[in-house]
A = this chain, B = another copy of it.
């Protein structure tokens, strides 16, 4: 812990990790370390804990309106003004049962069989799956392999009369790329000219490093009504189990999502909605501390891995993932990942889960304590040395 984070960012012990993170640590033995599932290994912020406890004590556990808890909607509207510089209204916001629910709504509402959707890969896998399951044709547009940024020419080349949407994840899970204003302007230019929707998953918007700032593509001129933004509190605020996120889109799209929502779930847990409002309202200092901590962990992780000539690991620009290319060492990323877990007891995510351009990579989640990162690096270094002696393991 650096001095700025001390007292704010509370890491779990290795024993606690196994009991708290049922899925991230599922099936790992006492020695196991998980850099897999996208969860932070920290306590949630104190104001969020207080919001949950107060809701219980104040009797605020009954239905919220189906369109969302007014407190949360207002907090999202304010936040979009402050953080994204976009004026939105309550009619542009729908709280969802995690980002997964938002991705599903966006797919169901915007895509039809016969449509084409261009997806900048690697990307969070369920985006590929959900969009394909609507009957739309998913066309991968792999990012540039050297820095994981958008290849605009590739996108232009794949646009057709049937293109209905371009999908991005920014900051990118799994690569950690933070798209620049200028590349997003290039994308917006295509979208406006062709009247194509942009789907933007911005779950990691608060975690950008080396002084970078997050640009929401909805903030670019003319993009407000063309963009469907999915965001949430499950990753960066540690609320994965509470399943709480939101979508921002045009009034027409949100109206269609509300109609679907009222049939399927009515609304996300009202206490989770209270927790989310506190996260955006009262946790800026906590988030700054998390970011500083994660930036240090990224330095430690990427710099150590880059000492190996056989590995290339661009320094993540944001998120809490590193995405090293390990294809010189391993035939197959899925086999590499399971070998590392079995022999070195370090869980990672196989890059090919994230679509074209992900193969030959591993995703490593560094939102954990320094102790865990150091132990993981000790084991990974040993593993890489073994693999270097025994290439294409």
Contact = CB atoms under 8 A, between A and B. Distances in A.
B16 A37 contact: no
A270 interface: yes
Interface stretch (A59-67, A143-151, A209-217): A59-67
A133 B53 CA distance: 39
A56, A63, A242: which has the most chain B beta carbons within 10 Å?
A: A63
A4 interface: no
A15 to B, nearest CB: 11
B65 A23 contact: yes
A53 B52 CA distance: 8
**Copies held by the complex:** 2
Contact of A56 (B52, B60, B104): B52
Interface in A218-257: 238-244
B61 A239 contact: yes
Nearest to A234: B63
A243 B263 contact: no
A382 interface: no
Contacts of A20: 58-60, 62
A378 interface: no
Report, nearest first, the 3 A-B pairs whose CB atoms are least far apart.
Answer: A241-B270, A269-B269, A23-B63
26 contacts: A21-B63, A22-B65, A23-B64, A39-B62, A39-B63, A44-B56, A52-B52, A52-B271, A60-B241, A61-B239, A61-B241, A62-B238, A64-B241, A97-B265, A98-B266, A100-B263, A100-B266, A104-B263, A104-B264, A126-B263, A242-B270, A243-B270, A265-B265, A269-B271, A269-B272, A271-B272
Interface of A: 12, 16, 19-24, 26, 37, 39, 43-44, 49, 52-53, 56-65, 69-70, 97-98, 100-101, 104, 126, 129-130, 133, 238-244, 263-272
